[in-house]
Amino acid sequence: MNDLYDRHRAVIPDWVALYYRQPIELTHGEGRYVWDASGNRYLDFFGGILTTMTAHALPEVTKAVSEQAGRIIHSSTLYLNRPMVELAERIAALSGIPDARVFFTTSGTEANDTALLLATAYRGTSQILAMRNSYHGRSFSAVSITGNRSWSPTGLSPVQTLYVHGGVRTRGPYAQLSDAQFIEACVADLEDLLGHTHDVAALIAEPVQGVGGFTSPPDGLYAAFREVLERRGILWISDEVQTGWGRTGDHFWGWQAHAENGPPDMLTFAKGIGNGMSIGGVVARAEIMNCLDANSISTFGGSPVTMAAGLANLTYTLEHDLQGNARRVGGLLIERLRAIGAAVPAVREVRGRGLMIGVELVRPGTDEADPEAAAAVLEAAREGGLLIGKGGAHNTSVLRIAPPLSLTVAEAEEGAAILERALRSI
């Protein structure tokens, strides 16, 4: 393992982060479990950053990939592609967006980059609204709309970005307000911001901020924002890269918690739909999607193999009601973690919905973020046989818990018990 780590450091950039003091190599997985090169088994509560959505080595997906690879692996979008059209049809119907068109990419970063291209071309302006504490990807344009300093390595930008209040409910200047007052204050802030700027192309927002530590506004905030945006013709892009496909339990898409004024103009997706295969994409109304007046293709977006995986994975998700499972098992897990957190002084808050749960750690008796404690819990959890993630605006002091949506009640209890021991160890 040390040899592989040394080889990694010799050829991979320093800024490609690795978890754990002694990084692990995952060699195989099954269901909700994975194994490392030393033979240790772990319960996976992070799913390759919310990407292994259904299960590791899901037979339906591996079979679809194998069969398609045996026929043809690649063709590009220059040729008709049956699996791509079939998956696009299903996603368009599920999106809630009228007269929807779907463009496939290879990642969430590329999906958000495409959405920015469409919005700025459609509106004829390069001004973008984004949420504070947000994360939208790794590309130059995606970094330029990322409101989380830990993931924004440059201030240079191809667009002008203005940041809006509202993504974090329990910190910031409006934290002490009621939900209704919070929404009112954030809407007033948005109105004021728009009164001091030129035309804006779009607001892009995660319904639940992923890298930001699984924070979210009160339900209805983006519906209230939508009223303000529509009066000015400004588009709403819902970044569903982490919240889509039923992970939040209550809804299939995160935007549906803010649905009073209908669906967004665009939504972006990735991660879970491929269950590990590289799929991203944008759904938009036809008039927006078709606004580009130059040629464009995708070499790898819509690959027959990844589309076959997406179709099999989506079918499994719907037929086995994994959204309902996320709601039921996630509800039990979050209450169990809240009970644990109440007895651990370092836990400031346990939050989330469905199987998208954040545990925020602080120095006891304060509101001061404690990234060292989060790192220590991450290590202790791994030693106990549990893989989790971390994130947050305050120096990655939030533990991120996002297991595959097929998680059982017994596995939820197993993971909670390991995490309880890890939290108490600090």
Q: How many CA atoms lie within 13 A of 361 on its CB side?
A: 24
What's the confidence (pLDDT) of residue 152? Answer: 82
pLDDT of res. 357: 98
- The pLDDT of residue 261 is 81
Distance CA 240, CA 235 (A): 16
What digits encode the pLDDT tens for the residues 216-251? 999 999 999 999 999 999 999 999 999 999 999 999
327 pLDDT tier (thresholds 50, 70, 90): very high
* DSSP secondary structure, 196-235, as one string: TSS---EEEE-SSBTTTTSB-PPTTHHHHHHHHHHHTT-E
Strand partners, 283: 102, 267
At residue 1, does pLDDT exceed 80?
A: no
Instruction: Write the DSSP symbol of residue 24.
Output: -
Element holding 411 (H helix, E strand): helix 409-424
Residue 140 has pLDDT above 90, yes or no: no
Give the global pTM. Answer: 0.95
pLDDT level of residue 106 (50, 70, 90 thresholds): very high
Q: What whole-number percentage of the chain has pLDDT above 70?
A: 99
Q: What is the pLDDT of residue 395?
A: 66
Helical ranges in 304-370 per DSSP H: 304-319, 322-342
- The 3-state secondary structure of 142-182, one letter per residue: HHCCCCCHHHCCCCCCCCEEEEECCCCCCCCCCCCCCHHHH
Q: Quote the tokens at residue 380.
A: 């202790």
Instruction: Please say if the pLDDT value at position 394 is more than 70.
Output: no
CA distances from 416 to 117, 247, 411 (A): 42, 18, 8
Predicted confidence band at 157 (pLDDT cuts at 50, 70, 90)? confident
| Mean pLDDT computed over every residue of the chain | 96
pLDDT for 180-214, tens place per residue? Answer: 999 999 999 999 999 999 899 999 999 999 999 99
- Residue 353's pLDDT band, with cuts at 50, 70 and 90, is very high
pLDDT at 2: 78
Angle between helix 409-424 and 371-383 (nearest 10): 130
Taking a C-beta distance cutoff of 8 angstroms, is the pair 76, 299 a contact? Answer: yes
- pLDDT tens for 162-180 read 999 999 999 999 999 999 9
Are 112 and 172 a contacting pair, CB within 8 Å?
A: no
Question: Quick check: 223 and 258 in contact, CB under 8 A?
Answer: yes
Q: How far is CA 9 from the centre of its chain?
A: 28
What local confidence, expressed as pLDDT, does residue 396 receive? 86
> At 108, is the secondary structure helix, strand, or coil?
helix
Which domains are delineated in the chain? Answer: 2-57+321-424 (3.90.1150.10), 72-319 (3.40.640.10)
What value does the mean pLDDT take over residues 383-409? 94
